[in-house]
Amino acid sequence: MSIEAARQAIDDLPIDVGMLASLRETARLAATHYSTQIEGNRLSEAQVREALAGARFPGRDRDEREVKNYYKALGQAEQLARLTSPITEDDIRSLHGLVLEGRVSPTPYRDGQNVIRDSVSGDIVYMPPEAGDVPGLMADLVAWIAGEMQQGELPAPILAALAHNQYATVHPYYDGNGRTARLLTTLILHKSGYGLKGIYNLEEYYAQNLGDYYRALAVGPSHNYYMGRAQADVTAFVAYFCAGMAVSFDAVRSQAVKSARRGAEDQSSLLRQLDPRQRRLLLLFRVQGTATTVEIAAHLGLSPRTIVALCRAWVSMGFLLPHDPSRKNRSYRLAPEYEALVADDYPIQMGVDR
């Protein structure tokens, strides 16, 4: 209920274009930092931002590559989420290719056995299935995800949690499994309508509760996959995952509400700067993203010649931007800072045309 309440609240918030872009970038940077930090990356959040901007950190070439690759992979996950087609194995393998190599090319599954060891004692914590079983297990996982997403019987948070758990269980690669599992959950949630406009990340919750994260993943009576892991009770991980979503979504809701309030105040000030004709023109752009001089003239009840002069002046002052350079049918659109004023939920006070 907490997840759904936060989701609805954020979807209903009137966040302007510029602010949304800023919040998305902040979320992507945080996701990059925390997801790579879980795997041992030593760059701070500020250094991640600098590395993505081109800064170099001597002796930390691998850390730099990891954050750049993960940042690219997040962008790829968002692109894949926009597609109407089901998630495929190649989609997941391409995310892994970006994580590990920085390339979209799908990577082959491991061809040998790998193990997960305790970083302190060196003891084996988990022994995944044999390499020969990986292709079949991954095909089953992807088919199950596609089927569940189509049927819609499982709530998206539970579906994402189970997919994360099973991907980590199969552990199809020698390296990069954790990062790819987290990207897979992001992809599933975004495709299922839980993208929250791209302004949240779950990785921070994992990183700040890392012991709980690993304990929740470590299920089954044995560290060996074939000795009970496949049939183990995964309730603990599903509960952990959903609790993390609730915490992350609520934090984003609080941040977004504050940003929206600040934005509304800024937009009110911007709106007061417009004359009555410009305010009336916002109503036209609310219906259509661009408008020709003929359409503007008809909407304002003015002659085309007068509109040509007005549009030229409005372009000079930064209110409009040329959209179609054609002299015969010139069209315009609002400048970016005014686009938020044509949102469906933003009130436009008309004023009186004098």
* Model confidence at 83: pLDDT above 60: yes
Local confidence band at 347 (pLDDT 50, 70, 90 cut-offs): very low
Average pLDDT over residues 228-249: 91
Mean pLDDT of the chain: 87
pLDDT tens profile 130-180: 999 999 999 999 999 999 999 989 999 999 999 999 999 999 999 999 999
Sheet strands side by side (includes 331-334): 290-292, 331-334, 320-324
Q: What is the pTM of this model?
A: 0.73
Core vs surface per residue 40-62: b (16+ CB within 10 A) or e = ebebeeebbbbbbeeeeeeebee
> β-pairing, 331-334 with 124-126?
unpaired
Residue type, 64: E
pLDDT at 345 over 60: no
CA atoms within 13 A on the CB side of 90: 4
Say which residues have a Cβ less than 8 Å from residue 309's Cβ, sequence separation at least 6. none
E-strand spans in 28-158? 116-117, 124-126
What values do phi and psi take at 54, rounded to 5? 115, 0
Domains of the chain in sequence order: 2-261 (1.10.3290.10), 273-342 (1.10.10.10)
How many C-alpha atoms does 71 have within 13 Å on its Cβ side? 21
> What is the Cα–Cα distance from 322 to 329, expressed in whole angstroms?
11
Model confidence pLDDT, tens digit, residues 35-48: 999 999 999 999 99
Residue 292 CA to its chain's centroid (Å):
35
Tokens 């436009």 belong to which residue? 348
Kindly report, residue by residue over 42-71, the tens digit of the pLDDT.
Answer: 999 999 999 998 999 999 999 999 999 999
pLDDT confidence band for 327 (50 / 70 / 90)? low
Residues 96-120 pLDDT 10s? 999 999 999 999 999 999 999 887 8
